């Protein structure tokens, strides 16, 4: 698989919170950090996502906002 995004984070599904239309997928990265993605429930089913499954979180953004106190 090839894609243009440069930010690929490999991890495992820690938790899936399914709603009526969307699913919140919590991915645990190797260092213990977590990243959360909201995808459609249909996409979650099509990808056969389940707790413990290895996945890649691919981040493609036109801007990143950084803030400090």
Domains of the chain are 7-59 (2.40.50.100)
pTM, entire model: 0.84
Residues 13-64: tens digit of each pLDDT: 999 999 999 999 999 999 999 999 999 999 999 999 999 999 999 988 777 7
Give the burial class of 27: count Cβ atoms within 10 A of its Cβ; 0-12 exposed, 13-18 middle, 19 or more buried.
Answer: buried
The C-alpha atoms of residue 7 and residue 57 are separated, in whole angstroms, by 8
Q: How many CB atoms lie within 10 A of CB 56?
A: 12
């Amino acid at each position: 698989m090839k894609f243009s995004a440069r930010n690929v984070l490999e991890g495992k599904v820690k938790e899936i919170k399914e709603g009526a239309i969307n699913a919140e997928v919590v991915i645990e990265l190797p260092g213990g950090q977590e990243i959360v993605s909201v995808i459609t429930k249909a996409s979650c089913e099509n990808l056969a996502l389940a707790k413990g499954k290895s996945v890649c979180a691919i981040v493609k953004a036109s801007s990143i906002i950084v803030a400090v106190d």
